[in-house]
Amino acid sequence: MTTHPQKQLSVLAMSTLAFTVCFAVWMMFAVIGIPIKEQLGLNETQFGTLIATPVLTGSLIRLPLGMWTDRFGGRIVFFTLMLATVLPIWLIEYATRFWHFLVIGLFVGLAGGSFSVGIAYCARWFEKGRQGMAMGVFGAGNSGAAVTKLVAPAIVVAYGWTMVPQVYAVAMLVTALLFWLFTYDDPAHRVPSHVSVKEQLRALKDPTVWKYCQYYSIVFGGYVALSLWMTKYYVSEYGFDLKVAAFLAACFSLPGGVLRAVGGWMSDRWGAHRVTWWVLWVSWICLFILSYPQTEFTVKTVTGSQTFHIYLSPEVFTALMFTVGVAFAFGKASVFKYISDEYPHNIGVISGIVGLVGGLGGFLLPILFGALVDLTGIRSSAFMLMYGVVWVSLIWMYTTEVRKMDFIKKPSDALDNLE
């Protein structure tokens, strides 16, 4: 008979594998979108729309999937979701026009909704003191973005981009079957049947939930957006070929996924607030540096005019992106530690709301990246936009958490100041 610890391990391992494959599929257009862009003659805004379209449905579906997970259990919802994406993935190779890719991309994007299913499914198998770690391990499935960066370019070079969706469709089908064979269901993890949809959606009125949505829109939405955008950025900004550009982009995607487990452990040990606070500050500093565009200026000196060229070398740029990826990994885990601590009885719904908004950030940002490049001609404008989003998060956290904690620590001083 299978023991509870064995079930815990099996559920966590298979859910993480399934999420990794789903995330790899979700990020597929980050690689195959580049040859499609050339084939169809798309501009930057159209390219941003192409790669972001799967993110839209993967985000919008997260809330209902989280609710269904609470009501029916994560095992059946996760399995059904994976099966539903197999045919759309396979059909990508038959698309020939821009709108074909957009429509099919909407259905492929369902794979991105797997997060709100798996995060609630895994969390309920573990006690509160280990939930941060469990959710962090599951969230490491974000490394599927790096898997796509490493695997898909090799397939494109060897067999053409149309082979990628064929391989991914087979991988999704096999993963779904393995998931069903090696996972378990516990009826005790479901919400009572008398809890209505209206009661589940009451969380939408909670301002704290919306604050966590804001945090997640940058640590996850920003991660998704940059995972989709970076391969193209390396090609355009530094002139690398597809394989080299995808490999360097993986230096951001891989730590941004794998180290989420470390972020979960850190959040269990030091608390979600402290980890998130430092994540936002590190991201803010790095994005400020990344925002500075290549600049050339001439200074008139006593010996004549001297021209200076300021830019980020590929090495420095990649190091900064790696740092941002690590910070985002920790932040994705810490935000969900907030949720498991404060909303233990409806993790599925809350994670669905937060995941939906975070995913919408991943949908909107690539489109805005492309629009800003078309409008300004400055590629680093993408980082300028993200810098502003992080700044909003820092201000919100300071006004609602940091100042509140200072008041609690020094109530007498605070009262004196009020007087």
User: Structural domain boundaries of the chain?
Assistant: 7-190+199-414
Q: What percent of the chain has pLDDT over 70?
A: 93
Q: What is the pLDDT of residue 194?
A: 54
> Averaged over 141-147, what is the pLDDT?
84
- Residue 134: pLDDT above 50? yes
391/226 Cα distance (integer angstroms): 18
- pLDDT tens digit sequence for 362-406: 888 988 998 999 999 999 999 999 999 999 999 989 988 877 665
- Residue 239: pLDDT above 80? yes
Q: What is the pLDDT of residue 418?
A: 45
For tokens 């402290």, the residue is 274
Could you tell me the CA-to-CA distances from 160 to 23, 39, 73, 248 in Å, in that order?
21, 12, 40, 21
Q: What is the pLDDT of residue 191?
A: 67
* Residue 233 burial (C-beta neighbours within 10 Å; 0-12, 13-18, 19+): buried
Q: What percent of the chain has pLDDT over 90?
A: 42
108/166 Cα distance (integer angstroms): 13
Q: What is the pLDDT of residue 108?
A: 95
Could you tell me the CA-to-CA distances from 149 to 29, 62, 92, 374 in Å, in that order?
10, 24, 18, 25
- Gyration radius (Cα) of the chain, Å: 22
CB contact burial 152-161 (16+ within 10 A = b; e otherwise): bbebbeeeeb
The one-character DSSP state at 358 is H
- Residue 258: pLDDT above 70? yes
Q: Strands 295-301 and 304-310, how do they pair?
A: antiparallel
Q: Give the residue from 294, 319, 322, 320 showing the smallest Cα distance to 308.
A: 294
For tokens 């695997």, the residue is 151
387/375 Cα distance (integer angstroms): 18
Is residue 29 within 8 Å of 112, Cβ to Cβ?
no
What is the average pLDDT score of the chain? Answer: 87
- pLDDT tens digit sequence for 81-109: 999 999 999 999 999 999 999 999 999 99
Could you tell me the CA-to-CA distances from 397 to 279, 362, 390, 392 in Å, in that order?
12, 21, 11, 9
Q: φ, ψ for residue 263 (rounded to 5)?
A: -60, -35
Q: What is the pLDDT of residue 375?
A: 92
Please give the span between the terminal C-alpha atoms of the chain, in angstroms, as a whole number: 67
Q: What is the pLDDT of residue 288?
A: 95
> Averaged over 31-56, what is the pLDDT?
91
184/217 Cα distance (integer angstroms): 32
Side chain identity at 31, as an amino acid letter?
Answer: V
Residue that wins the pLDDT comparison between 4 and 78: 78
pTM score of the predicted model: 0.76
> Averaged over 57-78, what is the pLDDT?
87
Q: What is the pLDDT of residue 69?
A: 86
Q: What is the pLDDT of residue 107?
A: 95
- Residue 316: pLDDT above 70? yes
332/232 Cα distance (integer angstroms): 24
Q: What is the pLDDT of residue 419?
A: 45
- Residue 417: pLDDT above 60? no
The one-character DSSP state at 299 is E
398/211 Cα distance (integer angstroms): 12
**CATH (residue range 7-190+199-414):** 1.20.1250.20
Q: What is the pLDDT of residue 24?
A: 93
Q: How far is CA 129 from the centre of its chain?
A: 24
- Residue 416: pLDDT above 60? no
- Residue 192: pLDDT above 70? no
- Residue 256: pLDDT above 80? no
> Averaged over 279-299, what is the pLDDT?
91
